[in-house]
Amino acid sequence: MTASLGNLALAGAVLVSVLAALFALAGVRFRSEKMIRWSNWSIGGIAFFFCAASGALVYALLTSDFSFKYVAEYTERALPIGYKIAAFWAGQSGSLLLWGLLLAIMSLTAVIGFRRWKGIDHAIAILVLAVTNGFFAALLLFAANPFVMFDGGVGPMNGRGLNPMLQDPGMIAHPPLLFMGYAGFTIPFAVMCGVLIAGRVDNHWLSLMRRWLIFSWVFLTAGIILGAWWAYIELGWGGYWSWDPVENASLLPWLTGTALLHSIMSQQHQGMFKRWNVALTAVTFILCIFGTYITRSGVIDSVHAFAPSLIGTFFLVFLLIITLSSVVLFGWKYRAMRPEHELNGLVSREGAFLAVNILFLIMMLTTLVGTTFPLLSKWVGAEPVTVKPAFYDRVVAPMGLLMALVMAFGPVLPWGRIKASQVMHRLVIPASIAFAVTVVAAALGLRNVWELLCVFIAVMGTLAVMVEFARSVHARRQNTGENFVMTGVRLIDRDHRRYGGQLAHLGMMLLIIGVSASRLFTVENVIELRPGERGSIGGYSLKMESVSQVQGPNYVAVQGSFLLTEPGGESRLMTPQRRFYTGWDDQPNSEIALLTSWKSDLYLVLAGWGENGSTATVMAHIYPAVLWIWIGGIVMVLGGTFGMLPRLLPVSARHPHPVESQNVSEPILGVASNTQHQQVVATKQTAESIA
The answer to whether residue 593 sits within a structural domain is yes
**Does residue 119 sit in the same domain as residue 207?**
no
State which of 131, 162, 193 marks the end of a domain.
162
Q: How large is the average pLDDT for residues 65-76?
A: 94
Query: What would the pLDDT profile of 18-33 be if each residue is shown by its tens digit?
Result: 999 999 999 999 989 8
Residues 6+ away with beta carbon under 8 Å from 586:
none
How far is the C-alpha of 351 from the C-alpha of 356, rounded, in Å? Answer: 9
- Work out the angle between the directed axes of helices 204-234 and 626-643 (0-180°, nearest 10): 160
Does the pLDDT at position 126 exceed 80? yes
Which has more pLDDT, 222 or 405?
222
**Does residue 67 sit in the same domain as residue 110?**
yes
Q: Which domain holds residue 242?
A: 165-372
Are 630 and 225 a contacting pair, CB within 8 Å? yes
DSSP, collapsed to helix, strand or coil, labels residue 486 as helix
**Does residue 82 sit in the same domain as residue 106?**
yes
Question: How does DSSP assign 627-684, residue by residue?
Answer: HHHHHHHHHHHHHHHHHTPPP-SPP--S-S-----S-----SSS-------TT---HH
**Does residue 560 sit in the same domain as residue 452?**
no
With b for 16 or more beta-carbon neighbours within 10 A and e for fewer, the 339-360 pattern comes to eeeebeeebbbbbbbbbbbebb
Residues 6+ away with beta carbon under 8 Å from 184:
106, 212, 215, 216, 219, 220
The answer to whether residue 45 sits within a structural domain is yes
Q: How large is the average pLDDT for residues 45-69?
A: 96
The answer to whether residue 267 sits within a structural domain is yes
Query: What would the pLDDT profile of 290-346 be if each residue is shown by its tens digit?
Result: 988 887 766 666 555 555 567 888 899 999 999 999 999 999 999 888 887 777 766
The answer to whether residue 393 sits within a structural domain is no
Query: What is the pLDDT at residue 594?
Result: 94
Residues 6+ away with beta carbon under 8 Å from 510:
458, 628, 629, 631, 632, 635
Q: What percent of the chain has pLDDT over 70?
A: 90
Least confident of 440-449, 496-505, 559-568, 639-648: 440-449
Does the pLDDT at position 393 exceed 80? yes
**Does residue 87 sit in the same domain as residue 76?**
yes
Question: How does DSSP assign 419-474, residue by residue?
Answer: -HHHHHHHHHHHHHHHHHHHHHHHHTT---HHHHHHHHHHHHHHHHHHHHHHHHHH
The pTM for the full model equals 0.89
Does the pLDDT at position 284 exceed 90? yes
- 124: domain CATH number is 1.20.120
Work out the angle at residue 316's Cα, subtended by the Cα atoms of residues 174 and 330, and round it to the nearest 5 degrees: 95
Query: Could you give the number of structural domains in the chain?
Result: 4
Query: What is the pLDDT at residue 652?
Result: 58
Query: What would the pLDDT profile of 415-467 be if each residue is shown by its tens digit?
Result: 666 676 777 777 788 889 989 988 988 887 777 787 788 888 888 888 888 88
How far is the C-alpha of 459 from the C-alpha of 587, rounded, in Å? Answer: 44
Query: What is the pLDDT at residue 306?
Result: 57
**Does residue 604 sit in the same domain as residue 644?**
no
- For 14, 114, 120, 330, the CA distances from 191, given in Å and listed in that order, are 22, 10, 11, 14
Residue (of 399, 396, 128) closest to 282 by Cα position: 128
**Does residue 154 sit in the same domain as residue 183?**
no
Query: What is the pLDDT at residue 301?
Result: 61
Residues 6+ away with beta carbon under 8 Å from 433:
459, 460, 463
Query: What is the pLDDT at residue 691?
Result: 34
**Does residue 228 sit in the same domain as residue 155?**
no
Are 263 and 200 a contacting pair, CB within 8 Å? no
Most confidently modeled of 231-235, 257-261, 501-505, 583-587? Answer: 257-261
Q: How far apart are the first and last CA of the chain?
A: 60
Other C-beta atoms within 10 Å of 143: how many? 17
The answer to whether residue 378 sits within a structural domain is no
**Any alpha helices (H) in 31-152, and if so which ranges?**
33-62, 69-74, 81-86, 92-113, 120-142
**Does residue 292 sit in the same domain as residue 204?**
yes
The answer to whether residue 250 sits within a structural domain is yes
Residues 6+ away with beta carbon under 8 Å from 550:
556, 557, 558, 559, 577
Query: What would the pLDDT profile of 580-602 be if each residue is shown by its tens digit?
Result: 988 787 788 899 999 999 889 99
How far is the C-alpha of 353 from the C-alpha of 361, rounded, in Å? Answer: 12
Name the pLDDT band for 11 (thresholds 50, 70, 90).
very high
Query: What is the pLDDT at residue 436?
Result: 93
Other C-beta atoms within 10 Å of 541: how many? 16
Arithmetic mean of pLDDT over the chain:
85
Q: How large is the average pLDDT for residues 111-133?
A: 91
Which has more pLDDT, 127 or 646?
127
**Does residue 428 sit in the same domain as residue 558?**
no
The answer to whether residue 390 sits within a structural domain is no
State which of 99, 127, 162 marks the end of a domain.
162
The phi and psi torsions of 545 (rounded to 5 degrees) equal -100, -55
How far is the C-alpha of 195 from the C-alpha of 204, rounded, in Å? Answer: 9
**Does residue 107 sit in the same domain as residue 195?**
no
Residues 6+ away with beta carbon under 8 Å from 533:
543, 544
Q: How many helices (H) and strands (E) does the chain have?
A: 20, 10
**Does residue 474 sit in the same domain as residue 606?**
no
The answer to whether residue 381 sits within a structural domain is no
State which of 372, 387, 407 marks the end of a domain.
372
Most confidently modeled of 98-112, 197-211, 502-516, 645-659? Answer: 98-112
Three-class secondary structure assignment of 187-218: HHHHHHHHHHHCCCCCCHHHHHHHHHHHHHHH
With b for 16 or more beta-carbon neighbours within 10 A and e for fewer, the 111-122 pattern comes to beebeebebbbb
Most confidently modeled of 189-193, 258-262, 301-305, 442-446? Answer: 189-193
